A and B are shown apart, each in its own frame.
Chain A
Amino acid sequence: MPVAQYISWFADIGLKDRPKVGGKGGSLGELHRAGINVPPGFVVRTEAFEDFIEELERRSPLRARVAGLVAEDLEGMRAVSRELRTRIEDAPLPADLEQHVRDAYGRLSELGTARAVAVRSSATTEDSADASFAGLQDTYLWVMQTDSVLRRIRSCWASLYSLESLSYRRRYGIAESMVAMAVVVQTMVDARTAGVMFTRSPISGDRSVITIEAAWGLGSALVGGEVTPDRWVVAKITGEISVRDISDKAIRHAQAAGGGVEELPVVESARREACLSDQELDSLRTIGRQVERHYGRPQDIEWAIDRHTQQILLLQSRPETVWSNKDDQPEVAARVSDPLLHVMSIFGGRR
């Protein structure tokens, strides 16, 4: 069986491959191809998941157990979830699949400075852009050895059968045959600073500003709400910084000695210090514009700055959803036959 069926490198995939590489994988491939720096990595495609599940199905039915659940039966769901997750986490990978993953991880380790990787679920449903669904999946940081990588891939697959995922699918009647899971394996960024960037104001919906939030260390502290991030509002076109809110950042997430993430206190002198320089803010702005242009719509972007290279790397980009769903309603001003009539908005008095 050709390798491409199980493993795809970022350079070889894009958004159109989402049915097989999931939303996260497709997005990272697309960004890489657009010339944006992302931590190098590969995707364990849904074909791997399918073959793995297929082998489990041969022993005893799996998907049929989910299809038989009713949305209201929480207890039944919990039991099935527990059972299926254990089955998935305990089952070995088919031998050839395991070899492909080992080879790919080996290659990746040669590329990066460290062997540490992030193993991230990259879910796919028919509507793989569904951000809220993607949010239910798991991510494992600072995974260090091959065996751990293999274990975490199974954990990602298993997370597709978490109680939350199951109840979501039952509630929305998503067919089990439509559900598959790809897994992203990418070099871990030893982040000095990490954060998110919205290329459209979450507050006003303004498309001309970029809101950047950032904190020291790994982005998990910020995404998990454990630290109040520094916040800037930057004009997308001119780069002017209109808001600088520097917060007291008491903690940061960092690599734990034996793998995984630990919470550390931020040294006193750095707590109230801005975690991004103006130059970095401007680089982020440029990247944000580039990504938004590439996709043709506003984006929510996760990024990190490598502690060693000071390079900005993008971890994820997805379309902004809050304001774009409201966009049908407000109209700034209607075109008029005589352009001069526009001045009546000033001279004509209050409306």
Chain B
Amino acid sequence: MNAKLKPREFPLPSSVKVIPGTERAQSAYPYHIQFSKADDKKFWFYNSMHFPEPMSAFDMVTAEAAYCALGAANTRVHCLPTTLGIDHRIINGRVYIGGNAVTEPEEIARRTVEFQKRAFYYYENWESLYAQWKQKMLKLIEDAKAMPDPALPEFEPLEHVRAGRGIASNHDLLVTYQKAIEGYFRMWHHHFEFLLLGYGAYMTFFAFCKKAFPEITDQTIARMVAGIDAEIFRPDDELRRLARRAVELEVDAHFLEGSPVEDIMRSLRESGEPGRRWLEELQSSRDPWFNINVGDGFYHYHRSWNDDLSMPFAALPGYARSVRSGESLQRDVKRLRDERGRLIADYRELLANDEERAVYDQMITLAHRVFPYVEGHKFYCEHWYTNLFFNKIRSFGALLAAHGFFAGAEDVFQLTHYELEAAIIDLMNAWSSGSAPRGPAYWPSIVAERRAAIKEWARHETPPALGPIPDVIDDPAIVMLWGITRESLDNWLSAGAAMDSNEVRGFAASSGVVEGIARIVKSVEEISRLQQGDILVCQVTNPTWTPIFQKIRAAVSDIGGSMSHAAIVAREYGLPAVVGTGNATSKIKDGQRIRVDGGRGIVTLLH
């Protein structure tokens, strides 16, 4: 649309300055993820989909582990023909990433041979490999659960001595810490074991549909592929089940809107047998289904429902009311399955000939084969395991705080994982030598400085991309995972020029048109600001916010494609959704009246 205009340029990495006063916080990140002059030659974009807020020093481990595993899978394991892995850099707490494309035809050909030997084996044996994957993940989760909380007794327990254990408790700290870090890196390898192959098979079907039906919407294709009973629906399903049980047991009157969780729990405990029975039901739902983060799991403060019951409890009164008014609140799995089957059959019938139908059958079969992984892995990886991991680190924070290193356990996340190991060894040494640890005099001022830096970074906009604009973005990983194409870059570049327009455009994720009050929710903490009937406007929509979908009338996000889980949930709820707008949270004002047209992907600002 702006083909005639001379494209504006993105700034070069070297021109982006560390915000004054935060230089020392910036230098906490290791040398290899600091931008250098050589990086000016490459195109980078801000990964605001996964890291929408400035990262604390420890949370950087997620970028490190994830790209380590993603690249290994692409570059070395499956040998994707046209792409290697992804480099990442952090400046002002923002994660920038850049893909490494393979462009030499001979090299692509060489990698294609390898790819077909490897990836095709995965596709052919998908079900058994995925079953094996689940076992690996569950084992990893069991191992993480079995890790002891770090503790340093004054004297080594006598039984250790009599058993001839031969190592002291300070060594256990190192073992546990290194195992925790190792487990997290390992989890990310598991995460990417299937991911690109899964997305690729889906994209193959997607591209076919777009060719056969040029005007088909993304969401329709998504509906043909999406699973019906994916793990990601389970936490919300459990919540609905608990609401039904509460009504059956006649204890739902205890769910007072706005009352603290502890008060509700206490009144249930004290209410007698039905209340206690409901609490038992709650307990059975919590493990494992409440191991779901209120965010994407990439930040230590994205706590799980288990850690903070206020999120699931906020949804209970509304659900209980629905049950009282006669709704079953049960997802009609059979109906959803039948609808999906009909959709697939109806589009199949419209194809031009039997040749096309044969190809369609081949592709959708493959897409359905891979999709349970695409939808299911997040629960195990980003939610369940990540919770265990951050909570383990938190327990180290508590120990260090008890020894005067920090004011509180949460301060631990202001250290990089390298620094944290040093602090732990400091404590190990002090415990062994009988001296005072050095940390208490060293870390508090650094923690304060870094907390201030994050606050400062959050106040500044960061460029959506850096460096020379590529002619074509042909990297399947970038296109699939971030939905970034040459076209979306042009849109980013023109976004500044179009600031006066009263429209925001994105992907049409779930159809329907509604008007209402926009509520800008920039972080998880702000979720409670949502009022019944508001339109949620956020940076990245998240399926774990599912229970709030009963409150809102529509959803708008800066980042995300039509297959983002939020888009899926919005469709299930029949709410209009526009995702991947790029700038909705900055263009729309909190409290502003807007119209969301989810079928066309347009948000109109009304005055």
Chain B residue nearest to A333 in the complex (CB)? B359
B588-607 CB mask vs A (1 if < 8 Å, else 0) is 00000000000110000000
Given contacts A235-B220, A335-B355, contact A343 B82 (CB under 8 A): no
Chain A residues contacting B480 (CB-CB under 8 Å) are: 346
Chain B residues contacting A350 (CB-CB under 8 Å) are: 472, 474
Chain A residues contacting B472 (CB-CB under 8 Å) are: 350
The stretch of B259-267, B346-354, B391-399 that contacts the partner chain: B346-354
Chain A residues contacting B355 (CB-CB under 8 Å) are: 331, 334-335
B359:A209 contact, CB within 8 angstroms: no
B207:A345 contact, CB within 8 angstroms: yes
B4 an interface residue at 8 Å Cβ cutoff? no
B32 an interface residue at 8 Å Cβ cutoff? no
B204 an interface residue at 8 Å Cβ cutoff? yes
Chain A residue nearest to B353 in the complex (CB)? A327
B511 an interface residue at 8 Å Cβ cutoff? yes
B217:A242 contact, CB within 8 angstroms: yes
A262 an interface residue at 8 Å Cβ cutoff? no
Residue of B211, B217, B346 touching A333 (CB-CB under 8 A): B211
Chain B residue nearest to A201 in the complex (CB)? B215
B113-128 CB mask vs A (1 if < 8 Å, else 0) is 0011001100110000
Residue of B108, B203, B208, B365 touching A349 (CB-CB under 8 A): B108
B352:A342 contact, CB within 8 angstroms: no
Whole-angstrom CA separation of A236 from B124 in the bound complex: 35
Given contacts A333-B359, A346-B207, contact A205 B81 (CB under 8 A): no
Interface of chain B residues 362 through 385 with chain A (CB within 8 A): 362-363, 365-366
Chain A residue nearest to B363 in the complex (CB)? A342
Whole-angstrom CA separation of A236 from B216 in the bound complex: 10
Given contacts A342-B359, A343-B200, contact A208 B352 (CB under 8 A): no
Whole-angstrom CA separation of A206 from B216 in the bound complex: 8
Chain A residues contacting B124 (CB-CB under 8 Å) are: 340
Whole-angstrom CA separation of A350 from B217 in the bound complex: 23
A208:B80 contact, CB within 8 angstroms: no
Whole-angstrom CA separation of A209 from B213 in the bound complex: 8
Given contacts A207-B352, A343-B123, A343-B201, contact A348 B82 (CB under 8 A): yes
Chain A residue nearest to B354 in the complex (CB)? A335
Interface of chain A residues 95 through 127 with chain B (CB within 8 A): none
Whole-angstrom CA separation of A236 from B215 in the bound complex: 11
Residue of B81, B82, B215 touching A204 (CB-CB under 8 A): B215
CB distance from B111 to the nearest CB of A (A): 10
A201:B476 contact, CB within 8 angstroms: no
B200:A208 contact, CB within 8 angstroms: no
Chain B residues contacting A346 (CB-CB under 8 Å) are: 200, 203-204, 207, 476, 480
B214 an interface residue at 8 Å Cβ cutoff? yes
A238 an interface residue at 8 Å Cβ cutoff? yes
Residue of A327, A331, A339, A349 touching B81 (CB-CB under 8 A): A349
B462 an interface residue at 8 Å Cβ cutoff? no
Chain B residue nearest to A209 in the complex (CB)? B215
B343 an interface residue at 8 Å Cβ cutoff? yes
B366:A342 contact, CB within 8 angstroms: yes
Chain B residues contacting A209 (CB-CB under 8 Å) are: 213, 215-216
Chain A residue nearest to B342 in the complex (CB)? A237
B362:A335 contact, CB within 8 angstroms: yes
CB distance from A62 to the nearest CB of B (A): 46
Residue of B358, B366, B476 touching A347 (CB-CB under 8 A): B476
A233 an interface residue at 8 Å Cβ cutoff? yes
CB distance from A131 to the nearest CB of B (A): 21
B112 an interface residue at 8 Å Cβ cutoff? yes
B343:A237 contact, CB within 8 angstroms: yes
Chain B residues contacting A332 (CB-CB under 8 Å) are: 208, 211-212, 351-352, 356, 359
Residue of A201, A233, A238, A335 touching B343 (CB-CB under 8 A): A238
Residue tally, chain A, CB below 8 Å to B: 35
Chain B residue nearest to A324 in the complex (CB)? B352
Interface of chain A residues 300 through 351 with chain B (CB within 8 A): 327, 331-336, 338-340, 342-350
CB distance from A333 to the nearest CB of B (A): 5
Given contacts A206-B213, A342-B362, contact A240 B80 (CB under 8 A): no
Chain B residues contacting A343 (CB-CB under 8 Å) are: 119, 123, 197, 200-201, 204, 366
CB distance from A73 to the nearest CB of B (A): 45
B200:A347 contact, CB within 8 angstroms: yes
Residue of A233, A331, A347 touching B215 (CB-CB under 8 A): A233
A281 an interface residue at 8 Å Cβ cutoff? no
Whole-angstrom CA separation of A201 from B214 in the bound complex: 9
B200:A340 contact, CB within 8 angstroms: no
Whole-angstrom CA separation of A338 from B363 in the bound complex: 11
A207:B350 contact, CB within 8 angstroms: yes
Given contacts A237-B343, A347-B81, contact A339 B366 (CB under 8 A): yes
Whole-angstrom CA separation of A335 from B355 in the bound complex: 6
Chain B residues contacting A334 (CB-CB under 8 Å) are: 355, 359
A241 an interface residue at 8 Å Cβ cutoff? yes
Chain A residue nearest to B121 in the complex (CB)? A340
Whole-angstrom CA separation of A316 from B124 in the bound complex: 51
Whole-angstrom CA separation of A344 from B119 in the bound complex: 11
Interface of chain A residues 192 through 212 with chain B (CB within 8 A): 201, 204-209
B416-434 CB mask vs A (1 if < 8 Å, else 0) is 0000000000000000000
The interface centre, meaning the residue of A206, A241, A343, A344 with most chain B CB atoms within 10 A of its CB, is: A343
Chain A residues contacting B115 (CB-CB under 8 Å) are: 347
Chain B residues contacting A345 (CB-CB under 8 Å) are: 204, 207
B599:A241 contact, CB within 8 angstroms: yes
Whole-angstrom CA separation of A243 from B215 in the bound complex: 10
Chain B residues contacting A237 (CB-CB under 8 Å) are: 220, 343, 346-347, 350
Whole-angstrom CA separation of A340 from B351 in the bound complex: 21
Interface of chain B residues 488 through 546 with chain A (CB within 8 A): 508, 511
Whole-angstrom CA separation of A346 from B212 in the bound complex: 16
Whole-angstrom CA separation of A81 from B42 in the bound complex: 75
Chain B residue nearest to A339 in the complex (CB)? B362
A242:B112 contact, CB within 8 angstroms: no
Chain B residues contacting A241 (CB-CB under 8 Å) are: 511, 599
Whole-angstrom CA separation of A331 from B208 in the bound complex: 11
CB distance from B75 to the nearest CB of A (A): 14
Interface of chain A residues 239 through 268 with chain B (CB within 8 A): 240-243
Chain B residue nearest to A344 in the complex (CB)? B112
Whole-angstrom CA separation of A322 from B474 in the bound complex: 34
Chain B residues contacting A206 (CB-CB under 8 Å) are: 213-216
Whole-angstrom CA separation of A240 from B474 in the bound complex: 31
CB distance from B101 to the nearest CB of A (A): 9
The interface centre, meaning the residue of A340, A343, A347, A349 with most chain B CB atoms within 10 A of its CB, is: A347
Whole-angstrom CA separation of A341 from B208 in the bound complex: 13
Whole-angstrom CA separation of A345 from B476 in the bound complex: 10
Chain B residue nearest to A289 in the complex (CB)? B346
Chain B residue nearest to A205 in the complex (CB)? B214
Chain A residues contacting B204 (CB-CB under 8 Å) are: 342-343, 345-346
B119:A236 contact, CB within 8 angstroms: no
Whole-angstrom CA separation of A31 from B50 in the bound complex: 55
CB distance from B65 to the nearest CB of A (A): 24
CB distance from B262 to the nearest CB of A (A): 46
CB distance from A74 to the nearest CB of B (A): 43
Interface of chain B residues 305 through 319 with chain A (CB within 8 A): none
Given contacts A240-B599, A340-B124, contact A348 B81 (CB under 8 A): yes
B211:A339 contact, CB within 8 angstroms: no
21 example contacts (A-B, Cβ-Cβ < 8 A) are as follows A201-B215, A204-B214, A204-B215, A206-B216, A233-B215, A235-B215, A240-B217, A242-B215, A242-B600, A332-B208, A332-B211, A334-B355, A340-B116, A343-B123, A343-B201, A343-B204, A346-B207, A346-B476, A347-B81, A348-B82, A349-B102
Given contacts A240-B219, A331-B355, list 10 more A-B pairs with CB under 8 A.
A201-B214, A207-B350, A207-B351, A237-B350, A242-B508, A332-B356, A333-B208, A343-B201, A347-B200, A348-B81
- 5 closest Cβ pairs, A-B complex: A339-B362, A349-B82, A208-B213, A204-B214, A206-B215
Q: Which residues of A contact B (CB under 8 A)?
A: 201, 204-209, 233, 235-238, 240-243, 327, 331-336, 338-340, 342-350
